[in-house]
Amino acid sequence: MKNCIVFVCCFLLLGFTTYYNKKDNETARIKRHSSAASDKIFYRDFIGDTTLPKKAERKAGMLFHHNSYKDFSKGILSDAGANLYVARNGNIQFINLFDLNADGFPEAVFNNDHNHHETPDLFIYHNRRPYGLRSLINPNARDAPAFQNLTWTLESLASITKLPTEGGGKAVVSDLDKDGYKDFLFVNFIHGSTLAAIPAYIYWGGADGLNSGRRSLLPVDRGTAVAVGDVTGDGLEDIVANSGREHLGLETRDFSHSFLAQQGGPREKTSYLFQQTEAGFTISSRELIPTQFAIDVKIADLDNDGSKEVIYLELGTPRALRI
């Protein structure tokens, strides 16, 4: 009789221990799965209790209760999960690991939407004798022999000036300092490639034309347009430039100002007036002008009162103007 009692006690103790070990293992699996999924998604392991915990019901805004691999197989991953799948053991795993250096950890691979020539030099075509304005590419390049095409390009280079840019955009030619030589001013913009501030460039003209040794940078921060005019009425040419994303209109479904205001940051809501002084253009003479995704700017005396107005074309309401 005593032996039977001891045997029954041992059997109950073993079953009790096995039950809690199973519960501990299930809890560990749930934690592992939860760490791999979104913090808004809670799902149970395939084995064990299928009753949803009430605490999780109260916390989770969106609750999925998966009880089998079949439940998971019906799900659809968004674009961000294009390289993921749910294995039969319940783990969320990579399809392609992309472990490029074989250290056991996947690398994040991003493709640039441009090639490495996204900031080519600007070309100035001089109207000179004997060729005038002439392209670098022979118009009969397909039919002409290679040496003739090479000769054409070398001869054309003699009337072309190349200057470095950082993704050259809209430009203005003007004698900013009134020395009798035309200066070249343009904004720089690299589409979707960097969050770094990219200044505007001024190449100052001289007796030898334009060269990369006479260049000034204006802190515009990836400008989309630039204009030149005497805005302050002191007889000196000032510069107005605006920052923004010129491709934003292709990315939004709603062109209202209120929607765009929510999307943009300080850069998209700021334009700049660089007032020229006797010292030239300095950061201390820069004035900030509030705009909303300005993509173009002009300077003109609209009311013929002798003072210049600044007109911005902004994204938002179609043909929206800010004066």
Q: Phi and psi at residue 2, in whole multiples of 5°?
A: -65, -40
Q: What is the mean pLDDT of the chain?
A: 75
How does pLDDT run across 270-307, given as a tens digit for each residue?
A: 899 999 998 889 888 899 988 877 888 999 999 999 99
pTM, two decimals, is 0.60
Could you give the 3-state DSSP secondary structure of residue 268? helix
Residues 6+ apart with CB under 8 A from 202: 176, 183, 184, 185, 215, 216, 217, 218, 281
Alpha helix stretches (DSSP H) within the chain = 2-36, 54-59, 69-73, 146-157, 257-263
Whether residue 141 contacts residue 125, with contact meaning beta carbons closer than 8 Å, is answered with: no
Q: What is the DSSP letter of 258?
A: H
Q: What is the largest CA-CA distance in the chain?
A: 122
DSSP-assigned beta bridge partners for residue 70:
none
Return the residue matching tokens 């840019």: 165
How does pLDDT run across 14-52, given as a tens digit for each residue?
A: 444 444 444 444 444 434 444 444 333 333 333 344 454
Amino acid occupying residue 88? R
How does pLDDT run across 119-141, given as a tens digit for each residue?
A: 888 899 988 888 888 999 999 99
Residues 6+ apart with CB under 8 A from 173: 182, 183, 184, 185
- Mark 115-153 as b/e (b = at least 16 C-beta within 10 Å): eeeebeebeeeeeeeeeeebeeebeeeeeeeeeebeebe
- Mark 273-309 as b/e (b = at least 16 C-beta within 10 Å): bbbbeeeebeeeebeebebbbbbbbbbeeeeeeeebe
Could you give the 3-state DSSP secondary structure of residue 160? strand
Distance between CA 159 and CA 133 in Å, rounded?
Answer: 8
Distance between CA 224 and CA 65 in Å, rounded?
Answer: 50
The larger pLDDT score, comparing residue 111 to residue 55, is at 111
Could you give the 3-state DSSP secondary structure of residue 250? helix
